[in-house]
Chains A and B, each alone.
Chain A
Amino acid sequence: MGGGDMIETVTIEGSTYQTNEHKFEAGTPRIAEAIGWDAAFGWMESLDLKQEHKRMLEIARYTAAELRALGMTVYGRHDDADSAVVSFLHPTLHSEDLAHLLDAGGYAVRTGHHCAQPLLHRLGISSTVRASFYLYNTMEEAERFIAQVKIILERFV
């Protein structure tokens, strides 16, 4: 265990501090994080990442198709080498409004220009909503996400 490296001396009269960068590192080192990091690597190594990529893409393709069926413009093709992110836009409901409404139902999405203004400018839009799927997501979650989008559209559009 560690900690306390910031101090050089402590007396009743006063304290002196290390002169190097350690003086800024008060408290317990990130022991819990290091243990978590090890567990995360162990979990990642237990997975067949190529198979997982295929599974995530299936989720993304399902989500994209369902969103298109609901009248959304979906950006991206979700080809075999693509990542499982689905960017979309409703013709009338503002992306940020949709994101807040999804958040109210417990779904976290990204909204805005995603630091890709040149691309959005080329597409003639100012923002999209983006749902991202990764190793920990399931098809059932995507189905529930789509169900929530349907509820929002019925209620707010």
Chain B
Amino acid sequence: MTYPAQLVELIEEFQDVDDQMERLEMVFEMADEVVLIPIDDWSDRTRVVGCQSEAHVHVSLDDGKVLMASAADAQLVQGLMGILTIAINGSAPAQALLLSPAFAQEMGILKSLSPSRSNGFRNMFDKVMLEIRGLVE
């Protein structure tokens, strides 16, 4: 599928890295890319169910564009959120909804993660997409 330019660049950066530790380090660094949900605003409504750590997302529209806010207590999870933030924030909802979670496989990051964490990424992705759909329907 066709990805936004910023995501294509990120996918290529990850694909250039063979070392698993280095790839995880890159995911860690992505944690800074999130629009942070303050811990006081974490609630059952924002919680990503099925994630082993505390993970929270909230999607709204800013001037008609997707604005994903998120946070997690584990850096690796928040890094995954940062990657999704780069992928969809500022996009039109219809464009964001075209995104498939397969991009994470193309980046090779799911190779670095345990099945439970990979499932957590999918749950987080699905919750974000569900919220976007809720905003436009």
Residues on A facing B (Cβ under 8 Å): 93-94, 96-97, 100-101, 103-105, 112, 155-156
What is the minimal beta-carbon distance from A115 to any residue of chain B, in angstroms? 13
CB distance from A151 to the nearest CB of B (A): 9
A-B interface contact total, Cβ < 8 Å: 36
Q: Give Cα A73 to B53, complex, Å.
A: 19
Q: Are B24 and A96 in contact (CB under 8 A)?
A: no
What residues of A have a CB within 8 angstroms of the CB of B21 in the complex? 101, 104-105, 155
Number of interface residues of B (CB under 8 A): 16
A143 and B32 CA atoms in complex are apart in Å by 33
Interface residues of B (CB under 8 A from A): 20-21, 24-25, 28, 52-53, 73-77, 112-114, 117
Contact of A104 among B20, B52, B74, B77 (CB under 8 A): B20
A93 to B73, CA, bound (A): 10
Q: By DSSP majority rule, is chain A's interface helix, strand, loop, or mixed?
A: helix
Which of B25, B28, B53, B114 is A103 in contact with, Cβ under 8 Å? B114
16 pairs, CB–CB < 8 Å, chain A vs chain B = A93-B75, A96-B52, A96-B53, A96-B77, A96-B117, A97-B28, A97-B76, A100-B76, A104-B21, A104-B24, A104-B112, A105-B21, A112-B52, A155-B21, A156-B25, A156-B28
Residues of B contacting A104 in the complex (Cβ-Cβ under 8 angstroms): 20-21, 24, 112
| B117 neighbours in A (Cβ, 8 Å) | 96, 100
User: In whole angstroms, what is the CA distance A156 to B53 when docked?
Assistant: 18
**Taking the nearest CB of chain A, how far is it from the CB of B124, in angstroms?**
14
